[in-house]
Amino acid sequence: MTLSVLWFILIAILWVGYLTLEGFDFGVGMLLKILGRDERERRALVRTIGPHWDGNEVWLLTAGGATFAAFPEWYGTLFSGAYLVLLVILLCLIVRVCAIEWRGRINDQAWRDRWDWAHTVAAWLPAILWGAAFANLVQGMKIEVVDTATGAPVPAAEVPADALIAGASHQVTGGFLSLLTPFTLLGGAATCLLFLTHGALFITLKTAGDLSQRAAAFARRCGIVSTLTAGVWGVWAVGYSASAWAWLPLAAAAVALVGSLVCSYRGRQGLAFGLHFAAIAGVVILVFTAMAPNVMRSSIDPAYSLTITQAASADTTLAIMTVVAVVFLPVVLFYTIWGYRTFAARINAERIDPTVGGLHPTRVRDNAQPAPGDH
């Protein structure tokens, strides 16, 4: 196995970590106004992800940084071609941080309601856009090899399969609308529904009483739709793959989704969440398996596709990165597991006093410190 292939696999693992963990963060935000009937329940929902959301985003930062260092041509082509989509996702992540951190700073219901709506919108949009973005990587984008001096496309017959052309680069030449196809829109719907179910299952495990029961009921209903939608998209995605190996992660994801649904109906919510976690991991592995041996497939001509070999950095760079990964990846895994074990207790909305916490609106301009309570 070459170092470039190894890092392609490692980046896939980083995306598995991000989407399986951040997936339920998004799901909780999407359900904030659906399941949260009053201030007690909405505080409880925010508290379920309070100790975890920022740690979960480390996986995204690491995946982006690793792609930049290991596959700079992939990073440059993707971020320039899907700039608007990625910018919207970034803005949503920033708004979500503000919503989580600031909703409890002022003891005013109108203030909290505004931030709850901002949190909800900032969760729904990335849940859809991430699916559409990855679906574009599977389907292929309008990519050409373009001479950087003249802007003219290089003839496909002159593009080597294992190297870059000096003075030319891979560029997405299609506009924003070229990213929107039935396949990519279905991909966005699939991730949206999977994250909704994932979040509902997480809420079931992390809360108590009526809120937990309603979350379990929602997970069962949404689970049926998400399983069917993801199944249709997965079969469609395999059709774009050049390898029969893509059927393996699809089959594993399908078994895990069905198993999660069965366990959810039988009241075994812990196992249901674990299987759903595995199902999302299977979907991510399906995406990367369907992409290979390319990191970005061209829908214009296969010769314009950006391959793993073309996109990779020098072996020296990849070797240094491998040493760093061997040292630090176990550390990340350790503190992630430790964090979830430490904050494993359920949250009971009935024990939350909605009148406590935050600065009184009349004292906002007095530079006073907020009272202890929910943030």
- Counting residues of the chain whose pLDDT is more than 90, the rounded percentage is 65
Instruction: Using pLDDT thresholds of 50, 70 and 90, give the confidence band for residue 166.
Output: confident
Provide the mean pLDDT of the chain.
90
Q: Residue 372 above 60 pLDDT?
A: no
Q: Residue 26 above 70 pLDDT?
A: yes
Q: Residue 261 above 90 pLDDT?
A: yes
pLDDT at 1: 60
Does residue 132 or residue 161 have the better pLDDT? 132
Our CA angle for 196, 296, 329, nearest 5°, is: 65
Residue pLDDT, tens place only, 127-159:
999 999 999 999 999 989 998 888 888 888 888
Report the DSSP beta bridge partners of residue 294: 307
Q: Residue 374 above 60 pLDDT?
A: no
User: What is the rounded (10 degree) CA torsion for 154, 156, 157, 158?
Assistant: 30
E strand or H helix that includes residue 144: strand 143-147
Does residue 301 or residue 162 have the better pLDDT? 301
Average pLDDT over residues 311-320: 92
Distance in angstroms (rounded) separating the CA atoms of residues 295 and 68: 13
Q: Residue 360 above 80 pLDDT?
A: no
Average pLDDT over residues 3-15: 94
Instruction: Using pLDDT thresholds of 50, 70 and 90, give the confidence band for residue 235.
Output: very high
| Residue 322 amino acid letter | T
Distance in angstroms (rounded) separating the CA atoms of residues 76 and 162: 18
Average pLDDT over residues 110-114: 91
Residue with tokens 């001479």: 147
Residue pLDDT, tens place only, 69-78:
999 999 999 9
pLDDT at 80: 86
User: Do 98 and 351 touch, CB atoms closer than 8 A?
Assistant: no
* pTM to 2 decimal places: 0.91
pLDDT at 73: 92
Distance in angstroms (rounded) separating the CA atoms of residues 271 and 219: 13
Residue pLDDT, tens place only, 268-310:
999 999 999 999 999 999 999 999 899 999 999 899 999 999 9
- Counting residues of the chain whose pLDDT is more than 70, the rounded percentage is 96
Helix (H, G, I), strand (E, B) or coil at 160: coil
Instruction: Using pLDDT thresholds of 50, 70 and 90, give the confidence band for residue 366.
Output: low
